[in-house]
Amino acid sequence: MSAGSIQQPAPGTLPLVARSEAKLKPAIVVTGASSGIGHELARIAASDCSCMMLVARSQDALAKLAEELTSSGTSAHTLPIDLANSDAGDTIENALKERGFYCDVIVNNAGICLAGPAAELGRFEQMQLVDVNIRALSELTLRFLPGMVARGRGGVLNLGSIGSYMSAPNMAVYHASKAYVQSFSAALAAEVADTGVTVTCLSPGVVRTPLVDRLHLREHASSNSRLGQMRVTPPGRVGAVFARARASSFHEWSTAFLRRFFFSCHAG
């Protein structure tokens, strides 16, 4: 066993968590499943699991996705909640139990991105970003990880970003939140290395989603604002980056990788 790793249950002993869950079924929980990357991750995950819990605020979008997944054989349930609320973790865990599930894989995808100087953006909105990108992600991971370790199986997939690896003026809180996600995930991955549980941080570059559309990057890049000056990518090239992200390798690569991720979490 590597240094710092978590002790597995002794052979032949049935952990308390496993006994209390004997009648529950494993489920994949995807946060931020109502749009963008989370929507796609849920579709990919559905091909490898029979039970899913889809979490976000937009009930209509969740319901539409749940209908699609259910029609292809997955039991998909929706939970329209605000992850910025401090009781979100309790709500998710209770909803799983009520439906006869436990969390086998948590996909912490929900995220907020804000662009602009920190001194000019609203403090409340920036703290909401911290609540969703850091607090909720940590809370859900810490809530479900002990059960996974006790079972000797499970997975945590956290959404970082290319921004995890650099600080960026005019996206100070967002990039800092993603640096946290990367650091947190890497440390946990080492801790659980020998337990049968995986902790993974997926760090995409720019992907065309509603999150990116809301930033109006093209306008910022062409303006004389400080945000515009920060962006070295001129409007034409921003478009090209989006086009590549849509068309190319990132999606294909990530799809193959994610299929392996979900399959390995649910195998056996």
Ligand X SMILES: NC(=O)c1ccc[n+]([C@@H]2O[C@H](COP(=O)([O-])OP(=O)(O)OC[C@H]3O[C@@H](n4cnc5c(N)ncnc54)[C@H](OP(=O)(O)O)[C@@H]3O)[C@@H](O)[C@H]2O)c1
Distance (Å) of CA 267 to CA 16, 168, 260, 262: 22, 40, 10, 8
Q: CA 8: distance to chain centroid?
A: 26
* Chain residues 144-183 in contact with ligand X, contact rule CB under 6 A: 159, 161
Is the distance from CB of 241 to CB of 206 less than 8 angstroms? yes
Choice between 105 and 212, CB closer to ligand X: 212
* Chain residues 37-76 in contact with ligand X, contact rule CB under 6 A: 37-38, 56-58
* Chain residues 70-99 in contact with ligand X, contact rule CB under 6 A: 82-84
* Shortest distance in whole angstroms from residue 234 CB to ligand X: 18
145 vs 195: CA distance, rounded Å: 11
Query: Is 50 exposed, middle or buried, given 0-12, 13-18 or 19+ CB atoms closer than 10 A?
Result: middle
For residue 1, the 8-state DSSP code is -
Please say if 174 is a catalytic residue.
Answer: yes
* Shortest distance in whole angstroms from residue 215 CB to ligand X: 9
Is the distance from CB of 133 to CB of 113 less than 8 angstroms? no
Helices 249-266 and 36-46 cross at an angle (nearest 10°) of 50
Which of these segments, 33-41, 95-103, 119-127, 183-191, binds ligand X (CB under 6 A)?
A: 33-41
Pick one of 34, 75, 126, 198: the residue that binds ligand X (CB under 6 A): 34
Choice between 8 and 35, CB closer to ligand X: 35
Pick one of 113, 173, 176, 265: the residue that binds ligand X (CB under 6 A): 113
* Shortest distance in whole angstroms from residue 169 CB to ligand X: 18
- Amino acid at position 181, single letter: V
In the beta sheet, which residues pair with residue 102?
A: 26
Q: Number of residues interacting with ligand X: please give it, by CB under 6 A.
A: 28
Question: Per rule CB under 6 A, is residue 212 in the interface with ligand X?
Answer: yes
Residues forming the active site = 174
